[in-house]
Structure 1
Amino acid sequence: MSGLQRLAETVEERKSADPESSWTAKLLAKGPEKCAEKFGEEAIEAIIEAVKGDRDKLIAEAADTLYHLLVMLAARGVTLAEVEHELDRREGRSGIEEKASRK
């Protein structure tokens, strides 16, 4: 099991945790919109570090972004397995072809 899968399981478990003792539970208790907002903030921070070129800060921000993506997905009842399934479905197709098929 990958670290990302373990993290997704932990996020799922924290749905039922006390928001006073779990940051994940606290975020989830604020609703999907707040989870999406927090994901957006973290994604922007990752972009800033990518532009600046600080590799270590980019790694840290990317980790924060992945965590908040999983929280946002959990807030809407979407699992990592479902996202992985979609990636598997797209495997072997060119990005240009895949994007054109969405129209």
Structure 2
Amino acid sequence: MSGFSLADLEIIVARRAQASPDESWTAKLFAAGQAKAAKKLGEEAVETVIAAIANDRKNLTDEAADLLYHLLVVLKIADIPLADVMAVLEGRTAQSGVAEKAARVPS
């Protein structure tokens, strides 16, 4: 198993965001802004769902990687560190998912 983590990917996204948009897809997404990055995240989410429904293991793996990458781009543009998301997830593990959802305030 690889030692590569989402934290490593977060660092790579931050570095590549500083490159020229002509040389980096990440920089191109940053230059296009949050709306474009979020739209791309949505497209990847849909492609991930389609692969899951089709039981296409290879495509699901590839699309999940795209989804995670684009999520980290959207988070970086919004200046939300992965650690903040992980803290929320960690807090949710203290109770069952059913109890956690019931305790959420409707938005």
TM-score where L is the length of structure 1: 0.94
Which blocks of at least 5 consecutive residues in structure 1 are unaligned? none
What is aligned with 1:80? Answer: 82
What is aligned with 2:98? Answer: 96
What is aligned with 2:71? Answer: 69
Distance apart, 1:88 and its partner CA: 1.1
Which blocks of at least 5 consecutive residues in structure 2 are unaligned? none
TM-score where L is the length of structure 2: 0.91
> What aligned pairs does 1:1-80 form with structure 2 within 5 A after superposition?
2-80=4-82
When structure 1 is superposed on structure 2, of 36-45 and 89-98 the one drifting more is 89-98
**Matched residue type, 2:77:** A
Distance apart, 1:3 and its partner CA: 2.2
CA RMSD of aligned residues (A): 1.1
Local SS of the residue matching 1:74: helix
Structure 1: how far apart are the matches of 2:93 and 2:46?
Answer: 27
Local SS of the residue matching 2:74: helix
| Percent pairwise identity | 48
| Cα shift readout 1:20-43 (whole Å, capped 9, x = no counterpart) | 111001001100111100000000
Aligned length: 103
Structure 2: how far apart are the matches of 1:81 and 1:49?
Answer: 28
Structure 2: how far apart are the matches of 1:101 and 1:13?
Answer: 38
Local SS of the residue matching 1:62: helix
